Structure 1
Amino acid sequence: MTNPTRLAILVALLLLLPATAYGAGLAQERWMGGAEPSTQGAATAADPAPSGGATFERPVRPARPARQPVAPAPAPIEPAMVPGPTLLGPGAEGEEVRDLQARLAQIGWFSAGVTGFYGDVTVASVRGFQAKREVPVTGEVDRRTLDRLLAMTREPSTDELHPERVVAAAPSAALDPRCLVGTALCVDKTTATLSFVVDGQVRTTLDARFGGASTPTREGLFTVQRMSRDHVSSLYDTSMPFAMFFSGGQAVHYSPDFAAVGYAGASHGCVNIRDHAAIAAIYDQVSIGDRVVVHRS
């Protein structure tokens, strides 16, 4: 090795010695717990040294974000009750309206007379019933309203449906004693009337017409033997609706002729009635075996 080479190596070593000494001192400072320039700023803190008073630094955990309040879940919304299609409403007329009014009367929601007309009084009654039963309040009858009403009531009687046909009961003394038992058609030739009697109480009294001199209406106590709603006489070829036969071919029935000419004519022995609606109502309440009493008071 030449001298120039040796000289170059020596110079290089001299230049390296200060850097080596600095690195050794830095390592010793860290080993002994000396402070290290912080690169975390305010994010680090000094912990007490375990011994000898030395300290070391460690990162501080970042603060957790504040928990946001959770809004309560909204209560479920119940579907609103919607009324169904109208079955009966203002302006309607007929037997269905009578049935509605009679049923409302049974449970105290209709105090007016049953008329068969759906007017303001019926609307108010239906609205009251609906409000009480948690049914959509419309004043009109839909299927839900009708089902509730049917479940709470019974089939109205003829008297409930047609109170205008009910007459005040006649004193029992005015009736033939044979008319006071059960259901009876009490026919009085003297007054030319037929009284529909149930358990001694007169339900209805109607005008009646009887047979002429050559075909008189037989008198006495009889029973209803057969009934024919749309009967036509095979002997006279005449209409005899609501026929209730009590003695052979003699019957109580509606007579179009009696309705047309009144007492100017006579029957062939039957008891003629000229009130079509009333005799139809009686027919629906009479049964085979009920009494027929034809007498003179």
Structure 2
Amino acid sequence: MQRQRFIIRTIGVATAVALAATACGPQKAESTGSASSAPSSPVAGASPEASPSDNKPGDASPSASPSASASPSASPSPTVKAIMANGDESEQVRELQARLKQLKLMTVAPTGFYGSKTTAAVKTFQSKHSLTASGAVDEASWKKIQSLSKKPTADELRPPTVNEVDAPDPRCMTGRVMCISKESRTLAWMIDGKVVSTMDVRFGSENTPTREGEFKVDRKEKDWVSTLYHTPMPYAMFFSGGQAVHYSADFAARGYAGASHGCVNVRDKGKLSTLFGQVQVGDKVVVYW
């Protein structure tokens, strides 16, 4: 028990040190992590080990006759598995989003993350085509979506154009806020509930995620270089330890083919320069899905 406590304390100290460092810098390649290679989990309650018929009173009764348990009407109904569902993140989800955009059911650019907008679009599609409107994509829904759309192009999967701004989080509706949506991959600079400017952003990989929550800008650095990765971080506005909103030349060059080490990357240097001049230390930062 003492050894376990020592290990936990050691991990806690290491984590605190990591959060205090200015750790941002571009990753060499986009990290899709295990989320893109591992099979998507089924919808809750839909595991193959437990079907609705598993809890039939007849099965639990020791006096049940063999003929009753062998009745054709008592056989388990097949379980419908979800191929993609809320919370998943993969290249297949990105393709799904691009196809839904072709079908005019989504307006935001594909992100690869299955969130509330994707769930709503899938539900609409399923209802329209007399499918079970669960919001999760099963085999029947996926085949129908594929049959009514074409294979997305590279530009459709990762469009070079500006992303459409997501609906602001309620925490963004008062005061001066950098309102940052992971789902739409946008930053909206808002003052008293009104959007002043918007820009595309990029986040950390699965192994170095951008933290979510409500923060405050604690310092600004017009010219800064990462102390861990030795990469430039112009117009850096730090909000959570070493994580900051800053311009990224790598993001400007490679787009979403890369990722940061946790920072919020901006690719439009002109827009960020203007924002840097407007944001003050103490202004709010909200990062949300």
TM-score calculated relative to the size of structure 1: 0.42
- Largest Rg, 1 or 2: 1
TM-score calculated relative to the size of structure 2: 0.43
